[in-house]
Amino acid sequence: MNKNRVLVIQGPNLNMLGVREQNIYGAMSLDQIHEAMKSTAGENNIELEFFQSNLEGELIDKIQESIGTCAGIVINPAAYSHTSIAITDALRAANLPIVEVHISNIYKREEYRQKSLTAQASTGVITGFGPLGYHLALISLAQIFTQIEATNTAKNEAKEKAQKETAK
């Protein structure tokens, strides 16, 4: 597994960004958002893999494929965030740091959009910052990776110290 590989999963209708409801989602296309993410990823030594699908099962398959190959996930499950127990279960099973992103502020929208099932399986949620949310998600994961590495280093040092003490 690449310790800095991040899978970016985009849910249904996000392939229509820049075309659909620009008053809600803005004018940037999904490709433009991904290009901007590449810059942030490069600055933080993160390798990105992008995936978009309108199909729930394909999103679940991709999450499952991330196990053992990725260090974290950025996901915008879009409408599935409000309805999909199956995606939520797949995210839990992945057991990775996960940052959920929503371009619009879901808490200022229709009542049915204000609850995210998938957020329950996420490390954190970024909502309402437009495409900037993806940048914030990558910065968050970079920080989480640093914390994980520091924790692992401390554990290894403690283990080595204990082994030396036992050997005496």
Catalytic residue among 25, 34, 80, 134: 25
Q: What does the block give as tokens for 90?
A: 């797949």
Q: What does the block give as tokens for 38?
A: 């590449």
Question: Measured between alpha carbons, how far is 83 from 49 in angstroms, rounded to an integer?
Answer: 25
Q: Is 25 a catalytic residue?
A: yes
Question: Measured between alpha carbons, how far is 34 from 13 in angstroms, rounded to an integer?
Answer: 15
Question: Measured between alpha carbons, how far is 50 from 67 in angstroms, rounded to an integer?
Answer: 15
Encoded amino acid at 8, one letter: V
Of 115, 118, 93, 98, which is closest to residue 106 (Cα–Cα)? 115
Catalytic residue among 80, 102, 134, 135: 102
Residues annotated as part of the active site = 25, 102
